[in-house]
A and B are shown apart, each in its own frame.
Chain A
């Protein structure tokens, strides 16, 4: 869970790990100059063949109307340019659930569980240093791997 969500959240700048947001724009010249709200909404809905229930409307300026649909998607019409933007929002259900836990957005009980899990991981990593004997022990050549394990984070702390 932490590994999958970790990769997703690492790339927050490149993609949205919680939602898939798709935007499409249609230019509808007949929209320019319309001043009847019902007619404007009809043009907006027909432009993208949207059949969903309208949840709310909002005029963000004299020339811009937003229409919010039942599933969280929305349409924005610019009455000056005739541009209608359709924004379709879909939750990435599994990623969103995992990210919510990873970023500690859940309740306190999860924090206790994840602390306990982290302590067990620390125990797993440190106990491994003493459990293996002989030529595969960290005192032999495998010690190089332990050293690299320390050096990589130190490199990024001091040189990045």
Chain B
């Protein structure tokens, strides 16, 4: 019986120590583009393979299916999104650096969806929100990755 406990302890210890993660294919660091450059002209990068890097600032709490990387410019960020289960990003990696290669995609919201989306963000941040202040529909950009590396 003691051997079984020993095997469990070794396996779970290895699990704790694994701080670097690799998901999907290898990332292509030769295609590295600053997030600020992508967000300044997203149309120029749409549906093209690009590599981005940045500090992980938030992660999907339920399924680990998305995370947001901080841009090199202040207040900016870019979301990485995968289909549920394709990659599972650990919440505990917040604050670590990630590198991701994938295709940039656009989500075009209509005006009503834009208001709901911004209202949801405001509610999450416990800020006041006036839907009437939104007069233009939003386009959200996100990277659909083929490979992600999370560094310690």
User: Is the pairing of A and B real?
Assistant: yes
CB distance A60 to B75 under 8 Å?
yes
Residue ranges of B at the interface with A (Cβ–Cβ < 8 Å)? 11-12, 15-16, 55, 57, 61-64, 70, 74-75, 77, 85, 88, 90-97, 125
Interfacial residues of chain A within 103-118, with CB under 8 A of chain B in the complex: 103-105
Enumerate 7 A-B pairs (CB-CB under 8 Å) in ascending A order. A16-B61, A19-B92, A62-B75, A72-B91, A74-B95, A91-B16, A100-B88
Known A16-B62, A74-B95; further 10 A-B contacts with Cβ < 8 A: A18-B64, A19-B91, A56-B55, A58-B55, A59-B74, A69-B95, A72-B91, A89-B94, A93-B12, A104-B85
Contact B91–A21 (Cβ < 8 Å): yes
> Which chain B residue shows the least CB distance to A71?
B92
Shortest CB distance A110–B (Å): 13
Contact flags (1/0) for A92-105 with B, using CB distance below 8 Å? Answer: 01101100100111
Number of interface residues of A (CB under 8 A): 30
Interface residues of A in 54-80 (CB under 8 A from B): 55-56, 58-62, 64, 66, 68-72, 74
Q: Evaluate contact between B95 and A56: CB separation under 8 angstroms.
A: yes
